[in-house]
Amino acid sequence: MELLQNKLRPDKLKDVLGQDHLIGKGKVLTNLVKEKKLFNIIFYGRSGIGKTTIALALMNEFNLRYRMLNATINSKKDFEVVIEEAKLYNGIILIVDEIHRMNKDKQDILLSYIESGLITLIGLTNSNPYHSINQAIRSRCQLLELHSLTESDIEKGIKRVKEVLSDIKMDNKTIKYIAHLSDGDIRYAYNLIEFVYYGFNKEITIENINEVNSKPSFFTDKNEDGHYDMLSAFQKSIRGSDVDAALHYLARLIVSGDYDSIYRRMIVIAYEDIGLANPGIGPKVIAAIEASERVGYPELVKPLSVVVIEMALSPKSNSADASINAAISDIMSGNVGRIPEHIRTTSPNYKYPHNYPNYWVDQQYLPDNLKGRKYYNPRKNKFETEMYNFNQKIKQSK
């Protein structure tokens, strides 16, 4: 059975929902169709906002030969078949869904044909292409971001349902409710309507929807940018010491069910944003994660909420993160130098600090060309101030 979302997929760019920054008079995609010029493009953005629809509408507008593959599902052999077809017809458009998952083997066989123009690539991805797509592919494509659909866009799309399901029973209040529930994902709206349509004798009501849609719908798919936005908001709320916002985003992440991402991000926050201002927080986070894994959902909310509250209220310091990044920057730029002779493995000239008062002795550790280089700059918090002052006091006692 053909899905409702496919029956309602527009054939022309002008009928695509939203994306006014790309479609319309004077806009880039409309101009490309007008000029009959198509280039390698990667469309990126969250799920259900029209990436596939726009790609297929372009194929229809241009009336070009194309093939559509999925980087995860289709094999290397499938890609090779498309290449042979491109050679036979002196060119082809290849639409690759989930292009961020295309492995090196598939990329390698495509690159030269994309470069020669035999294959024009249209990539579709839910991920940020600047982070997830190989630079060799990315540099050969124009990257176009699709924006989330507004509730008004979703309502417009829902009203089209009557073109296919003429006997559907659905009032404007219900349409607005579905649009709000869909959170900018038209595919979600269509799938929900179709399910309720066949499950409740063609009658779409708020009561019927709530009966089958017990879980709140918001954008938290762990494979898409929206989920990473959620993790970003979670970290930034803790970094900004907003305990209520931190708990809000923790709750949303818990409801999404991707606990592993929560755990990883909490560990990063403990050492990146809190760091030496509260060095005991790292072990506490690990303990809370271990407790959560043992008790599972829903009890895991208790240890996680306790430690997240402490993280948000804790003093903050990124001195360790900034320090190691500065050191890595020197290494990556080739600013290294030779290790001083007296601290090499077999040197007889090494001074053993434990043999000296206060367990410290004045000797050089950095290479000559980095002598005096300061990577670590303490922040103003109790723990770092005490440690730094103690260290300075010892050095001044020589």
* Structure-derived torsion over alpha carbons of residues 290, 292, 294, 296, reported in degrees to the nearest 10: -160
- Interval 339-350 mean pLDDT: 92
pLDDT at 201: 82
pTM: 0.58
pLDDT at 317: 95
Percent of the chain with pLDDT over 70: 95
What is the chain's mean pLDDT, rounded?
88
Fold of 151-212: Helicase, Ruva Protein; domain 3 (1.10.8)
- Interval 317-333 mean pLDDT: 91
Fold of 225-313: Zinc Finger, Delta Prime; domain 3 (1.20.272)
Which residues, listed in sequence order, are joined to residue 123 by a DSSP beta bridge? 42, 96
Band of the pLDDT at 227, cuts 50, 70, 90? low
Fold of 4-145: Rossmann fold (3.40.50)
Task: Report residue 159 as tokens.
Answer: 């009203």
**9-14, long-range: CB < 8 A, 24+ apart:** 9/52, 9/53, 9/56, 10/53, 10/57, 11/56, 11/57, 11/60, 12/57, 12/60, 12/61, 13/54, 13/57, 13/58, 13/61
Cis peptide before 298 (omega within 30 of 0): yes
pLDDT at residue 295 greater than cutoff 70: yes
Band of the pLDDT at 398, cuts 50, 70, 90? low
- Interval 265-281 mean pLDDT: 95
Percent of the chain with pLDDT over 90: 46
pLDDT at 308: 97
Q: How confident is the model over 181-207, as pLDDT tens digits?
A: 887 889 889 989 999 889 888 888 888
pLDDT at residue 323 greater than cutoff 90: yes
228/142: higher pLDDT? 142
The rounded distance, in Å, linking the Cα atoms of 327 and 321 is 10
Nearest Cα residue to 79 out of 44, 111, 117: 111
**Architecture in CATH of 319-396:** Orthogonal Bundle (1.10)
Residue 97's φ and ψ, nearest 5 degrees, are -80, 150
- What residues does each domain of the chain span? 4-145, 151-212, 225-313, 319-396
Neighbours of 201 (CB within 10 A): 9
Q: How confident is the model over 117-141, as pLDDT tens digits?
A: 999 999 999 877 876 677 888 888 9
